[in-house]
Chain A
């Protein structure tokens, strides 16, 4: 058995010891797009029908020059100030995003300097979308649990709106932008993980052009009209909604049941389920399949949409901050679960009862 694991490793299920989640906050861009404002463009009945299924009424959209790292930078600085963190104590930085500043260098290294962190900081960029927060927690926990780092800054955020074609009704009415910052450190807690990958379905959620498999050309800029009337180019985000729905419901249910069994936790003794906010319908369907109440597995997609790797920290930040109705100090057993591009998915079991959670920066509703 590995020294930093408290339970035997078992097919990508593990518990990493001596790691705690100290604090977290999220950053919302100031621009808000109301879905009702799209009625003229897409037709009122279409807009209402999509809103009814997704539950999204508005999303926050980053400025043209505002990047994921900018939002995460503001979130990190907020935590440094509020938690009076000595920046020299941070020795690890993990940046989860599919919208980095550059193809190279890694955005995490740029953020190390911008945030004024020590040069003796190990920095990682990890390219994941909706499942990204789970992978970020795993990477941070590995760094701390193995003794490589003592305090890790996890930044997760995306400006997915910039990958969505304005004429793509189905995606435009779902995705919003958000950044987040989470600080993990060595301590008394432990984090349980279950992680899965399925590259066979890599093309179910994809931005086909812009990498080295399909470089940007005039061809990749040509607009294609989908069967449902949505318009996109090969440089825009594509999602096979039917395949993704089935994937989320099956893999999400399986992953949560797997982590519960591995942790030897009963479903009902879990205090809070932080589920990836894909659409209201998907969350409700998954919740019903798992037999969870809305109180224990709430949604907040109405005001933010699907913010990719930031949905879980945004859910916690939005609903569980100090003095909010949901008292995080009671959350001794929390399950987080997310699923997304890759395809990739996973769940985390943790104790958040000592975690300081702050409301989203720029929260207006």
Chain B
């Protein structure tokens, strides 16, 4: 789980690391944009070999939602 949070936080340039935990609603982060969504899909494919879709991100709210999604697809 920590591994995913670190990889997810790495997509962001300005958001402090301490704002990222499993409960974080990532869409509420000021830096979040559609490009971060694309980067998340790319990172998940590269690091976890799981193909997410944009619609998956629309449904997810927290980082834990993303982790659950990845585990369910592995």
Question: How far, in Å, is A6 (CB) from chain B's closest CB?
Answer: 34
Query: A285 near B39 (CB under 8 angstroms)?
Result: yes
A245 in the interface, Cβ–Cβ < 8 Å? yes
B68 in the interface, Cβ–Cβ < 8 Å? no
Query: A281 near B42 (CB under 8 angstroms)?
Result: no
Contact of B33 among A52, A284, A288, A289 (CB under 8 A): A52
Count of A-B contacts judged by CB separation below 8 Å: 35
Task: Give the interface SS of chain B, mostly helix, strand, loop or mixed.
Answer: helix
B28 in the interface, Cβ–Cβ < 8 Å? no
Query: A282 near B42 (CB under 8 angstroms)?
Result: no
Closest B residue to A280 by CB, please name it: B13
Residues of B within 8 A of A251 (CB): none
Distance in angstroms between the alpha carbons of A52 and B34 in the assembled complex: 11
Interface size class of B (residues with CB under 8 A): 10 to 19
Q: Given contacts A49-B33, A285-B11, could you give 5 more A-B pairs where the C-beta distance is less than 8 Å?
A: A241-B34, A246-B41, A282-B35, A288-B10, A289-B46
B54 in the interface, Cβ–Cβ < 8 Å? yes
By Cβ-Cβ distance, the 3 closest A-B pairs, closest first, are A53-B33, A245-B38, A281-B35
Distance in angstroms between the alpha carbons of A185 and B25 in the assembled complex: 56
B56 in the interface, Cβ–Cβ < 8 Å? no
Fill in one digit per residue for B9-28: 1 if any A CB lies within 8 Å of its CB, else 0. 01101000000000000000
Please report A residues at the B interface, Cβ cutoff 8 Å: 49, 52-53, 241-242, 245-246, 249-250, 279, 281-282, 284-285, 288-289
Residues of A within 8 A of B41 (CB): 246
Query: B54 near A242 (CB under 8 angstroms)?
Result: yes
Question: How far, in Å, is A72 (CB) from chain B's closest CB?
Answer: 31
Contact of B34 among A53, A246, A249 (CB under 8 A): A53
Residues of A within 8 A of B36 (CB): 53, 281
Distance in angstroms between the alpha carbons of A279 and B31 in the assembled complex: 15
Question: How far, in Å, is B29 (CB) from chain A's closest CB?
Answer: 11
Query: A245 near B42 (CB under 8 angstroms)?
Result: yes
Distance in angstroms between the alpha carbons of A246 and B35 in the assembled complex: 10
Residues of B within 8 A of A289 (CB): 46
Closest B residue to A228 by CB, please name it: B34
Query: B33 near A241 (CB under 8 angstroms)?
Result: no
Fill in one digit per residue for B30-50: 1 if any A CB lies within 8 Å of its CB, else 0. 010111101101100010000
Tell me whether A52 and B31 are in contact in the complex, defined as CB-CB below 8 angstroms, given that A242-B54, A284-B13, A285-B11 are known contacts.
Answer: yes
Residues of A within 8 A of B35 (CB): 53, 241, 245, 279, 281-282
Residues of B within 8 A of A288 (CB): 10
Residues of A within 8 A of B39 (CB): 245, 249, 281, 285
Question: How far, in Å, is B72 (CB) from chain A's closest CB?
Answer: 22
Query: A242 near B38 (CB under 8 angstroms)?
Result: yes
Distance in angstroms between the alpha carbons of A285 and B40 in the assembled complex: 11
Distance in angstroms between the alpha carbons of A241 and B37 in the assembled complex: 12
Distance in angstroms between the alpha carbons of A250 and B45 in the assembled complex: 11
Query: A246 near B33 (CB under 8 angstroms)?
Result: no
Question: How far, in Å, is A159 (CB) from chain B's closest CB?
Answer: 25
Closest A residue to B11 by CB, please name it: A285
Question: How far, in Å, is B51 (CB) from chain A's closest CB?
Answer: 11
Residues of B within 8 A of A250 (CB): 42
Query: B33 near A281 (CB under 8 angstroms)?
Result: yes
Residues of A within 8 A of B10 (CB): 288
